[in-house]
Structure 1
C-alpha cells in the first residue's frame, strides 16, 4: 500500500466520514466560506488584510478520518491530498497548503500550519547535513505520535501499518534494515526508549518487547527536540536481537530480547496523602518515588504509570524496595573555578 499511495497522483480524502459509508459531501452554505480583502488603515500603506475562515486544525488535523491509524502512512506518502472536510475542501501538496475559503492570492503554508507530512517533502531535496538528519528524526517522532493516537481494527497490525514509513525513513537516514529496532532507531535507541504514554498500559501482544512503543495499545509521545538535546544516554545497549515474522524487520515481531547495562539505584514508592489531578481532567497523581531522603514528586515532572495497578499488586510494591535503572542524564554545565596558587587541575 505504501507504493500505491507514493505513486498515486491525487489522494482523495474523506476527512469527515465516520466510516466507509460516509462519503465526501455535506450540506453547507458556500457563502460562509468566501474570503475578502480589507484595506489597511496604516498611513502610506497600500496593503490589505485577507479575511477568511481558517479551520484546518479542526476539520483536517482533528477530522474523524484521523482516528484511523492507517491514514498516517497514506497521507504522508501521497504527493497530493484533496481533503473533503465537514464544511469545505482543502488542498495539500509539497508546495502548497490551502483551503477553499482562502483567496487565490494568499496561501496557507508551513509557516502558518505545520504538518509533518508535507513539511517532510518540503526539504527532502536539500543536501544531507546534521541539521537535516535531526529534522528527519523529529518528523519521525511526530508521525509516531500522530499514528498512535489513531485506532486499528486489528491491534496486531500496529507494526505493519507503519512499516512503509519505517522503510522510507531508513533510506533517508542512511541506515540499514538492522538499524530499525521494533519501532526505534539504533543510533538513538536508549533515548528513544524513554517514550511515554498517558492513556494506555494495555499490552495486547506479548511477543512485542515492553521496551518498544509498539507493545502498547494507546498514545505514545517522545521528548521534544529542545528537551532531548539537554540529555545524554547513560545506559549502554549490550545486545539486542529482533526476530521478525517472515524475516521482515519492518513487519510483525516474534521476539526482541535486549541486554542493557546502566547504573541502578534503590528507591521506595509511597502513596501520596492527598491525590490530585496532574491536569484539570487528567489522571490523579497518587504515588511518588523516594530516593534516600529526597522525594521525587510532581514538582520534578515525575509521573508513575505502572502496567499493573491492582490494589493487590500496589500493596506488594509499597511494602518493598524497587530498583530504578538510569537511562539518560541531563547535561549541566559545570561552573568554572579559578586556578588557586599552588593548585593543579586535572
Structure 2
C-alpha cells in the first residue's frame, strides 16, 4: 500500500544516554537488561530509558532484580514469554534502513497517528481499494440489499432520508455496527416512518450516526444501513421479520463500520485518539532517523475483541458475517478482511483464531480441509461459550442474534439442528447437548418469551447466563445415538427431542463417580422421584463392567402429559442438569414401562 502523505513527519531525535546510543535493534537476538536502580537514575536524561521506566512502574517491577526487554519481531516483551509492552517500527522509504537485510524483521510504519481527518479517511479508502483489487473479499455485484437503507445525501445537500428498496435493486451500501446504550435511542417507528422517508435533518441524529454518515460519504458510498433506523421498532414494527435477514444484511454490505469504543448512540467514533509516548532512536553516526519505539499499541484483542461493542450479543454474528470491517477505537483504527488485520500504524497482523471471524465467507477457513472434525467442534463450542456471555437489550433475542451464524455452522457441519445444537446422526447431537452452566454463574435464569417457536429447555438459548461444555475425550466415547432423536422444526414448527429415559440413584455428594451441574440449583427439591436421566454417551474402557464405566447424562424432570393418538398420553420432560456418573447409579436394565419421552 502507498502510505506517502498519510502520516506525520517523524518526531525529533530522542535524548539518549551513552548506553542507548550504542543499541543495535537489528541484531537477531536484541535485548536490553536493566535494573530498577539503573532506570531510576537515567530516566530523567534518556528518553528510551524513560519509556522503559514507565513500563516498569506500570508493571510494578520495583522489587525485580533484573528486568529484561526482549525483541520478538517488531515488539519488545518483558522477558521472553510475557505480553508485548513496546512496538518497534522503521520509516517507510528510508533508504538507510531499507538497504539492510537484517532490518526486514522490523515492521514499516510510524508510531504517531495522523491528526488529519482527510489523511485518516484517505487511509481507509486505500484499505478498501487495495482489498477490492488484490483480494476476493468484497460482495458480489448482484448481492441482495436490505429492505430499507439510508440515502446519506451530500455535504452540500445534507438532509438524509430513509428509502425502501425494490426487488431487483442492486447497489453498494455500508452497515453500521454499534452499541445502542441506555440513553434515549433514535428510532424509526410506525408513527414516524413516513417522516423519515421524507427526510431526517442530520443535526437531529446522535453523534455515532452523524460520524457514520460522514465516513460513508468520505468512502464514496451513497447508502448506509443502521438497524435502529432501517428496521421499524416497537409496536406494529417489523423487527421479527427483519431479524431473519441479518445474515444477508452484513454479508452483503460493501463494508461494515464498527464503533468499537462507543458505548451509546451519542458517543460518536471519530474522536481524537489517545496520545502515546514514542521515541525516535538513532544509531550513533547515522545522519537520519529511522527507528521508532513506542508503548505497545497494535493491540487488536484489547482494543476490539474486548471493546464495549464486543460485549453486545449481536456483534459476534455481525463480525463473523461481515466481509470487511473498519473498527474505530480510542487508540487507533483497524481494518479486517480475509487477508488479515491492518492497523493504522501500518502493521499487518495475522492471528489464526482471530482470522476465522474475519473470514469474508465464514466459516470457509474451517472448511478448507486443514481443520479436522474435532477442531471444528472445539471452535464452534468456543463461539457459543463466548456468545452466551454477551449482553442483549432483550433477553428473548438470544436465539435470534446468532441465527444467521448458526445457519452457516449447520451447513458447514453438513447437519441439521437448531437452538445451539447440531445433529449429523453421528456424535454431534449428543455431544452438543452436553453444555453446562458456567462456573462463574451460580444459576441460569429461564428467559420468558412469547416469540414462537418456543426455545426448548435442552437448549442453552432458553436461559440467561454463560455456558461451558463437558469435555468427553475425542475417540474414547461410545455415543448413544440410538436413544436420542431430533425433530427439527417439524410438525407445528416445533423443535423437540425424543429420548429414552432411565431411572437413576441420586446422591447429594459430588465426586468423581457422580458429578452433576444443575441449570437452576434452587429448583432441585429434595423430592427427586420425578427426575430421570438420558444417557448420551459412555466412555469406552476395556475390561471394565458397565457399572464402573463413566456415563455422560442429561438430567430431566417430568413437566406435563400431552394427549397423543387416540387416548395415548406422552410424557413431556424438561432438562434440569447435565453431568457424568458411573453406571452403578443408573438403571441400565431400564425395566420401567414407559421409557421414550419428549423433551421440550
TM over 0.5: yes
Aligned to 1:69: 313
1:96 alignment partner, one of 324, 340, 365: 340
The alpha-carbon deviation at position 63 of structure 1 amounts to 0.9
Aligned to 1:24: 269
1:169 alignment partner, one of 404, 409, 418: 409
Counterparts of 1:69 and 1:201, CA distance in 2: 17
The alpha-carbon deviation at position 98 of structure 1 amounts to 3.3
1:139 alignment partner, one of 363, 366, 379: 379
Distance 1:29 1:58, change over 3 A: closer
1:201 alignment partner, one of 424, 435, 444: 444
Counterparts of 1:119 and 1:36, CA distance in 2: 36
Aligned to 1:239: 485
Aligned to 1:309: 522
Counterparts of 2:279 and 2:407, CA distance in 1: 42
What are the ranges of 5 or more consecutive residues in structure 1 without an aligned counterpart? 40-47, 248-254, 270-287, 290-295, 336-346
The alpha-carbon deviation at position 309 of structure 1 amounts to 0.9
Aligned to 2:289: none
What are the ranges of 5 or more consecutive residues in structure 2 without an aligned counterpart? 1-245, 284-291, 545-600
The alpha-carbon deviation at position 240 of structure 1 amounts to 3.0
- Per-residue CA distance 1:137-189 (angstroms, 9 max, x = gap): 433222222221112222222222211112222332334xxx12332111211
1:110 alignment partner, one of 348, 351, 376: 351
The alpha-carbon deviation at position 90 of structure 1 amounts to 1.8
Counterparts of 1:55 and 1:302, CA distance in 2: 40
- Per-residue CA distance 1:2-40 (angstroms, 9 max, x = gap): 1111011221101111122221134444444x698999x
Aligned to 2:537: 328
Question: Contact between 1:16 and 1:84, CA under 8 Å: does it hold in 2?
Answer: yes
Question: Contact between 1:235 and 1:263, CA under 8 Å: does it hold in 2?
Answer: no
Counterparts of 1:232 and 1:120, CA distance in 2: 37
The alpha-carbon deviation at position 57 of structure 1 amounts to 2.1
Aligned to 1:80: 324
Counterparts of 1:332 and 1:80, CA distance in 2: 48
> Does residue 252 of structure 2 align to residue 7 of structure 1?
yes
Question: Contact between 1:95 and 1:122, CA under 8 Å: does it hold in 2?
Answer: no
How many aligned residue pairs are there? 281
Aligned to 1:152: 392
Question: Contact between 2:255 and 2:322, CA under 8 Å: does it hold in 1?
Answer: yes
- Per-residue CA distance 1:258-287 (angstroms, 9 max, x = gap): 221366531321xxxxxxxxxxxxxxxxxx
The 3-state SS of whatever aligns with 1:327 is strand
Distance 1:60 1:308, change over 3 A: same
CA radius of gyration, larger in: 2
* TM-score of the superposed pair, with normalisation by structure 1: 0.67
Question: Contact between 2:356 and 2:365, CA under 8 Å: does it hold in 1?
Answer: no
Q: Which has the higher contact order (CA 8 A, sep 6+)?
A: 1
The alpha-carbon deviation at position 314 of structure 1 amounts to 4.2
**Residue range with higher mean Cα deviation, 198-207 or 151-160:** 198-207
The 3-state SS of whatever aligns with 2:327 is strand
The alpha-carbon deviation at position 328 of structure 1 amounts to 2.4
Distance 1:133 1:97, change over 3 A: same
Aligned to 2:590: none
Question: Contact between 2:320 and 2:359, CA under 8 Å: does it hold in 1?
Answer: no
The alpha-carbon deviation at position 333 of structure 1 amounts to 6.1
Counterparts of 2:344 and 2:258, CA distance in 1: 15
Distance 1:131 1:27, change over 3 A: closer
Distance 1:139 1:118, change over 3 A: farther
Aligned to 1:275: none
Aligned to 2:41: none
Counterparts of 2:253 and 2:279, CA distance in 1: 31
Counterparts of 1:194 and 1:141, CA distance in 2: 10
Counterparts of 1:236 and 1:140, CA distance in 2: 24
Counterparts of 2:306 and 2:504, CA distance in 1: 42
The alpha-carbon deviation at position 228 of structure 1 amounts to 4.5
> Does residue 423 of structure 2 align to residue 214 of structure 1?
no
Q: Cα RMSD over matched residues? A: 3.8
The residue correspondences of 1:235-314 to structure 2 (distance < 5 A) are 236-243=482-489, 247=493, 255-261=494-500, 265-269=504-508, 288-289=509-510, 296=511, 302=515, 304-309=517-522, 314=525
Counterparts of 1:54 and 1:301, CA distance in 2: 47
Aligned to 2:299: 55
